């Protein structure tokens, strides 16, 4: 039997370089009452919206949504860096929200136009990276963890299994994203994910270099495929990617290690220079609607930050520990904080680790 | 043929599209990147061209030199393998019956019709532990009763090492080597080969003393066409390489994306370009010396 790699088109596993696909909805608006033309340009991750959400929104508001797709935050940032090419709504991850705020690339939200903000779960009503939620609305969140093959792996409850896992030698894949890998190594050593203390960073770098002999590959977003095909038995990956392959293979599981992990949060934002700000606010409000939120969560199977939508979801979703880890685990997780210094130090360290 | 000086209008009309193209899509972007390489980041999105050499100084850190050196030797080995395989292929096509040639050339060019990324993913499916090649080997192993004599088949670890990167590079760039070789070998005057053989030279001697020197232009352009893009390759090491796979192309990509440090990325790109120019200059120097020595 030959294993044929599947191209899971999930939010984080889009093939790099495949270019942004393009989906245009060409339904004509029924009314043209406001001054703003009934159009909206939405820049989103692949498969990161409900199947009918854009059509439903068009039905409800008459606004025609054109969606472009990006594969990672760096691509989004690079595209908007030289000026907004015409997007109204974007979905960056928290550290990029922070980076774009610092660079003055986001518009302040008019909360009076987003009454559905009351639907946001309490834990996400405020954010360390955006105090008062003036620039961002939480959309989905998730964790970094270990996807593993139950029949081959004894214990995946600690980062030790992949960072210093002699017993799993040659069967491990780590992420190709140095900032996250180094952050997790820091957490395993008992430090903060965001530490830039030289001694702590050095210890993490040494740990990762020593662990290299056991690691098969630094996988750029295809750890779940390596796991599913049996190439590796443990993969450091994003929860959503592992949940997808878990649904096809009962022998696979996902754990958020006890030392804590990275908790990411994708946020809906309006980039500076958006041509249709009113429509953008209407769209954000629609995304926070309970029923719309149910349809989105149902399609993409990530943890929603929309409490009203979560309340309407079934047990298979809300009770899935891969999607919603236990509270004591979440308490130990950290969000990645943005700093230019951290990015530079982590990148240099990551280059040294790979060249060692 | 009249000189272009006598008909300047025709010259400029025909040259203009090429000049504009070169200026707009090559020289201006290249100049911008060069400017960036002597610039500094002043904020998250702003870069100021200050004339600093800091980015180049940083490029000379041991870790980057080590990675550049690794990129160079991987590219040299891959180019050599490419040449060793492509030469007989090109030779075979040239000496095959004329009606077969277009078909054989098509086979060489065919992979071009498929996206590079897809082709590389296909290689993963072939070489992975539970991939086509290992399954085939296992089948042969069992067919020869080796499973009963020696023990069960152990799948080969073919992916995620430098060997896999070299195989991937050779596979991707092979057509670029075959085509220039084909072009020169086809023009080869075969009476030289017959003369050499008639005069008593062995096949071996004829090949190295007559065929190779006569097809040298094709060999050189093939090497240049293949070696230079290999030096900057980042996709193949990314997908097929293991934990040590990093090449200079990957470091540069990182600077423009994750690290958001365009000035440093620009400096590294230009460093790579200087290395390339140095290699080309060395080649010109060496070939001039050889010509001088032979007295041609």
pLDDT tens-digit map of A199-211: 999 999 999 999 9
Contact state of B125 with A2 under an 8 Å Cβ cutoff: yes
pLDDT, block means (10 residues), chain A with 356 residues: 45 42 38 69 92 95 94 88 92 94 94 95 91 95 95 94 90 93 96 95 96 92 90 93 88 93 95 95 96 93 93 91 86 90 93 94
Provide the residue count of chain B: 296
The reported pTM is 0.83
Contact state of B243 with A215 under an 8 Å Cβ cutoff: yes
Q: Is A272 on the interface with B (CB under 8 A)?
A: no
pLDDT of residue A1: 40
Query: ipTM > 0.95?
Result: no
pLDDT, block means (10 residues), chain B with 296 residues: 74 90 93 93 86 92 93 95 96 93 92 90 90 92 85 88 95 94 92 92 91 91 93 92 92 89 94 87 79 57
Q: Is A210 on the interface with B (CB under 8 A)?
A: no
Out of A72, A178, A220, the one facing B238 most closely (by C-beta) is: A220
pLDDT of residue B101: 93
CA-closest candidate to residue A31, choices A216, A256, A279: A279
* Euclidean distance between CA atoms B7 and B153, whole angstroms: 74
Q: Is A339 on the interface with B (CB under 8 A)?
A: no
Chain B interface, Cβ < 8 Å to A: 41, 43-45, 63-64, 66-67, 70, 117, 121, 124-125, 128-132, 135, 157, 159-160, 235, 238-239, 241-246, 250-251, 254-261
* Euclidean distance between CA atoms A49 and A296, whole angstroms: 5
Per-residue model confidence as pLDDT tens digits over A133-182 = 999 999 999 999 999 999 999 999 999 999 997 889 999 999 998 999 99
pLDDT of residue A34: 47
Burial label, B102 (beta-carbon count in 10 A; 0-12, 13-18, 19+): exposed
């Amino acid at each position: 039997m030959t294993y044929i790699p599947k191209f899971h088109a999930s939010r984080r596993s889009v093939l790099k370089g495949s270019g942004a696909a393009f989906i245009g909805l060409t339904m004509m608006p029924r009314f043209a009452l406001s001054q703003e033309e009934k159009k909206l340009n939405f820049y989103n991750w692949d498969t990161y919206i409900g199947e009918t959400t854009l059509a439903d929104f068009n039905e409800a508001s008459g606004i025609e949504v054109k969606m472009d797709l990006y594969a990672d935050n760096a691509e989004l940032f690079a595209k908007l860096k030289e000026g907004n090419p015409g997007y109204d709504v974007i979905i960056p991850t928290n550290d990029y929200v922070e980076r774009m705020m610092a660079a003055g690339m986001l518009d302040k939200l008019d909360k009076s136009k987003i009454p559905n903000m009351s639907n946001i779960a309490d834990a996400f009503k405020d954010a360390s990276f955006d105090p008062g939620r003036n620039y961002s609305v939480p959309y989905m969140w998730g964790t970094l963890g270990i996807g593993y093959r139950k029949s081959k792996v004894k214990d995946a409850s600690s980062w030790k299994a992949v960072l210093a896992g002699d017993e799993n030698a040659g069967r491990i894949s780590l992420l190709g994203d140095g900032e996250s890998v180094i952050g997790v190594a820091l957490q395993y050593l008992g430090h903060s994910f965001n530490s830039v203390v030289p001694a702590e960073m050095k210890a993490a770098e040494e740990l990762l270099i020593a662990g290299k002999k056991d690691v098969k590959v630094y996988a750029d977003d295809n750890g779940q495929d390596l796991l599913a095909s049996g190439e590796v038995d443990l993969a450091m990956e994003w929860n959503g990617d592992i949940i997808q392959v878990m649904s096809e293979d009962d022998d696979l599981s996902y754990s958020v290690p006890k030392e804590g992990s990275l908790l990411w949060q994708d946020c809906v934002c309006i980039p500076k220079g958006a041509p249709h700000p009113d429509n953008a606010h209407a769209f954000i409000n629609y995304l926070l609607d309970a029923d719309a939120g149910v349809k989105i969560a149902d399609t993409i199977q990530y943890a929603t930050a929309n409490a009203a939508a979560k309340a309407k979801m079934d047990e298979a979703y809300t009770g899935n520990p891969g999607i919603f880890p236990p509270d004591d685990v979440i308490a130990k997780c950290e969000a990645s904080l943005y700093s230019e210094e951290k990015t530079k130090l982590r990148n240099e360290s990551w280059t040294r680790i790979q060249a060692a | 043929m009249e000189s272009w000086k006598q008909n300047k209008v025709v010259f400029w009309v025909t040259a203009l599209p090429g000049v504009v193209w070169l200026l707009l899509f090559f020289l201006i972007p290249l100049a911008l990147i060069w400017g960036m390489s002597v610039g500094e980041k002043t904020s998250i999105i702003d870069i100021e061209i200050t004339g600093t050499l800091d980015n180049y100084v940083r490029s000379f850190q041991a870790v980057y030199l080590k990675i550049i050196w690794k990129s160079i030797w991987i590219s040299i080995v891959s180019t050599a393998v490419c040449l060793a395989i492509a030469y007989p292929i090109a030779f075979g096509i040239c000496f095959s019956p004329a009606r077969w040639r277009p078909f054989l050339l098509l086979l060489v060019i065919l992979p071009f019709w498929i996206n590079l990324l897809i082709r590389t993913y296909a290689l993963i499916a072939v070489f992975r532990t539970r991939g086509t090649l290992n399954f085939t080997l296992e089948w042969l192993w069992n067919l020869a009763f080796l499973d009963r004599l020696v023990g069960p088949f152990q799948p080969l670890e073919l992916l995620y090492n430098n060997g896999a990167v070299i195989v991937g590079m050779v596979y991707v760039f092979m057509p670029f080597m075959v085509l220039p070789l084909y072009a020169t070998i086809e023009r080869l005057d075969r009476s030289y080969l017959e003369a050499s053989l008639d005069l008593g030279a062995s096949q071996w001697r004829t090949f190295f003393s007559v065929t190779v020197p006569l097809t040298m232009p094709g060999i050189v352009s093939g090497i240049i066409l293949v070696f230079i893009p290999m030096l900057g390759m980042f996709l193949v090491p990314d997908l097929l390489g293991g934990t040590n796979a990093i090449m200079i192309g990957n470091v540069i990509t990182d600077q423009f994306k994750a690290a958001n440090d365009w000035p440093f990325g620009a400096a590294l790109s230009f460093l790579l370009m200087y290395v390339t120019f140095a290699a080309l200059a060395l080649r010109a120097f060496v070939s001039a010396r050889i010509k001088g020595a032979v007295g041609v």
